[in-house]
Chain A
Amino acid sequence: MTLTADERWDLIEKISNKVVTFSKFKHTLKDALGELTVKPLTGIPIAIAVLYGFWSVFSSFAGTLCTDGFFVKLFDGHFLPWIQSVFPGKGGWFYYIFVGDPAADNCFEAFGVLTSGLFVAIGVVLPAIFIFYLMMALLEDVGYMPRLAVLIDTIFHKIGLHGYAIVPSILALGCNVPAVTATRILETKKQRFIMMTLLAIFIPCGAQLGIMQEVIPESIGIVLLYLIFGYFLFGFILNKITPGKSPEILIDVPPYQKPLWNNISRKLRMRLGGFFKIAVPFVLFGCAIVNILYLSGTIDWLARVLTPLLTGWFGVPGETVGPLIAAFLRKDLAVAQLSAIEMSKYQMITSVVLVSIYFPCVATFVMLLKEGWKNLLGSLAVLVTVIFLYGGLINVIWKLLGVQ
């Protein structure tokens, strides 16, 4: 039996009359609050307040309370002198790799696997990652994240993405590894390519933010400003040159609700588990590799070869070649290394931006490869171009301002 279009509509009406209950929709206070958070005029100040609270809690918990309050004292005052005295073979290469500089009086400068490696992983990054993911899970569970996606949708369309791109973007502020996986919520290959490239280049991970908070607290705003500007500038360019479609989306915005602690603790456990499995081994391994490169003279050789480029084009000292190599293994480690190099405030800002936009850390690299080698090669091509153009541009800006 075949039905005409009119007959089908009649049938649909009959069925819906039987199964759907109609009543007058009454706005609740939650609905009204929800509307305020998605309308640009009211939603933008609310978003600024939420991000303000996010950053304030992040920096005071991770920086003031955990790292400065307890871990610096534990590692520099107790652990470092102890391990320097009991570790055998002082002066030998094995000691240098695992304990680092025997004369160092703090874990940032020692640069051994068991000193800087452990301090960065446990003393700096762990509290930063913990509080970041805790607040992220809270915002997700309350129902604020979909509203932020709606609010920011128009801006993201300018760079070929849509509002849900906020999810991988914010996740990447914790760690790029889950963020690369989260790009699968975007529909087309073009969108996924743009998102992966932008987050690998311009979004500093929680670990890096934690270290930046420790090493350059007064300049962190300028560094982030450069990265945000680069994110949208190169996103705009990529949208213009990348073939493919950027479709619209329909977002289902759930009502605001009380967070469920069960959900939050499960998310937190899962994400922290990922950090311990992937990030911590890479920090320790990264320290060992960089120390081996120093011991073998490779970094000194590279510094000599690359000094004209680093000083001439980017305006940073030749010694930054070491941290740039370390950045491929762990970016947080690289920023920690930069703190030990003598340079001006502006050179430090350029160096930190360079480390951020330089190759994604090896863990992210592996995740990008999993998403397809064509994407990875494309991202790397963009990345090399961005480093040279953007790194050079920052140097030019400092020169024009007369501060370099």
Chain B
Amino acid sequence: MNEKIGRIYFGVLGIITLIFGITDLIVTIGGNDFSWGILEISSDMFRGGWGGLIVISAGLFYLSSLKNFLEIHQFSKALMASILIWILAGTDIFVRITESIPGGEDGPWFNSLEGFLSTYAPPYPPVIFLLPFSLVILFSLSKRKKA
């Protein structure tokens, strides 16, 4: 990935990440969950509040990496921003996995196939949407290693 494309891509991703983070915080302060299509933002203090702060940090990391993007210290900021998103998205997916396996209080020991699959159905939090776009850093990393 050349510097110009990297700067444009991670610049746009940084702005979107920052917007998602700020929205997370606003929704948490508002106290009501926000849903729009398959997007859902929780007003829960832990996921929305602390999670929102982390998403904002990720957005700022992306944006601060843009100047001289391929220099190793700048590139590490973009990589760290992606790692922050992976932590949040990873824990969200892990929460769904732990919810999908047991059969519920009055049900059988293990969940039915429909119940299992329905746990993974939308709506999703913002970081899940950011996850695939943040993975592009791995492509960039492999290019760096080859070069």
Contact = CB atoms under 8 A, between A and B. Distances in A.
A45 B54 contact: yes
B73 A35 contact: yes
Nearest to B61: A42
A56 B94 contact: yes
A45 B84 contact: yes
Interface string A61-84: 100110011101100000000000
Interface residues of A, number: 28
**Chain A: interface secondary structure?**
helix
A109 B65 CA distance: 55
A76 to B, nearest CB: 10
Contacts of A259: none
A27 interface: yes
A48 interface: yes
B124 interface: no
Nearest to A32: B76
B116 interface: no
Contacts of A27: 72-73
B12 to A, nearest CB: 21
A221 B47 CA distance: 13
Contacts of B72: 27-29, 32
B51 A61 contact: no
A112 B118 CA distance: 39
A70 B80 contact: no
A249 interface: no
A49 B88 contact: yes
A72 B57 CA distance: 39
Interface stretch (B1-9, B22-30, B31-39, B99-107): B99-107
A61 B46 CA distance: 16
Contacts, number: 87
Contacts of B109: 70, 73
Interface residues of B, number: 31
Contacts of A46: 57, 80, 84
Contacts of A35: 73, 76
B95 A56 contact: yes
B33 to A, nearest CB: 16
A33 B76 contact: yes
Interface string A21-61: 00000011100110110000010011011101101110011
A27 B72 CA distance: 8
B15 interface: no
A23 B102 CA distance: 58
Given A48-B53, A48-B54, A52-B54, A65 B102 contact: yes
Interface in B120-144: 141, 144
A42 B61 CA distance: 8
Given A29-B72, A57-B94, A69 B57 contact: no
B88 to A, nearest CB: 7
A54 to B, nearest CB: 9
Contacts of A53: 87-88, 90-91
A256 to B, nearest CB: 11
B79 interface: yes
A52 B80 contact: no
Interface string A108-122: 000000000000000
Contacts of B95: 56, 60, 64
Contacts of B99: 60, 64
Contact of A69 (B51, B75, B102): B102
A46 B81 CA distance: 9
Interface string B69-89: 000110111011001100110
Interface of B: 45-46, 50-51, 53-54, 57, 61, 72-73, 75-77, 79-80, 83-84, 87-88, 90-91, 94-95, 98-99, 101-102, 105, 109, 141, 144
Which 10 pairs from chain A and chain B are nearest by CB? A69-B102, A45-B57, A32-B76, A56-B91, A65-B98, A60-B98, A53-B87, A64-B98, A60-B95, A49-B54
Given A33-B76, A64-B98, 13 more contacts: A29-B144, A42-B77, A46-B57, A46-B84, A49-B88, A52-B50, A53-B90, A55-B46, A56-B95, A57-B94, A60-B98, A61-B98, A221-B46
29 contacts: A27-B72, A29-B79, A29-B141, A33-B79, A36-B77, A45-B53, A45-B54, A45-B57, A46-B80, A46-B84, A48-B50, A48-B53, A49-B54, A49-B84, A50-B87, A52-B51, A52-B54, A52-B87, A53-B88, A53-B91, A56-B46, A57-B91, A60-B91, A61-B98, A64-B98, A64-B99, A65-B102, A69-B101, A221-B45
